[in-house]
Amino acid sequence: MKDGKVMTYGTIEEQTIAVIQDIEKTLSLADCTLNDVVKSMVWLSNKNDFPGFNEVYSRYFKSDPPARSALVNELLVDVKVEIEVIAYKPE
């Protein structure tokens, strides 16, 4: 999302940045960061977008990246990428 709207334009890299930044904002509401992510699930609409997606993703998860699953599938909205994360922060 960008400015509260689904980002249906831009490159896979631009969309990936927007999605991860949105995830960061959501995590901050629970006093978490990307370092607390233990699992991510990624959906791409085109398998040829994986290298561009992965390059951006690896910028945000540099060391000890979370476990990750990825699928290529037609998405419900006209976007290139969707990411779901599970975060864990011990008390």
Q: How long a stretch of residues is the chain?
A: 91
Q: Give φ, ψ of 11 to 5 degrees.
A: -80, 170
Q: How many domains does the chain have?
A: 1
**CB-count burial class (<10 Å; 0-12, 13-18, 19+) for 10:** middle
CB contact set of 89 (below 8 Å; sequence gap of 6+): 30, 31, 32, 36
Q: How confident is the model at residue 7 (pLDDT cuts 50, 70, 90)?
A: confident
Residue 2's pLDDT is 57
Structure-token pair, residue 13: 């890299």
Classify residue 45: in a domain, yes or no. yes
CATH number at residue 74: 3.30.1330.40
Domain residues for the domain of 69 are 12-87
What are 11-62's pLDDT values in tens digits?
Answer: 999 999 999 999 999 999 999 999 999 999 999 999 999 999 999 999 999 9
- Assess if residue 6 is contained within a domain: no
Residue 2 lies in a domain: no
pLDDT one-digit tens code per residue, 25-37: 999 999 999 999 9
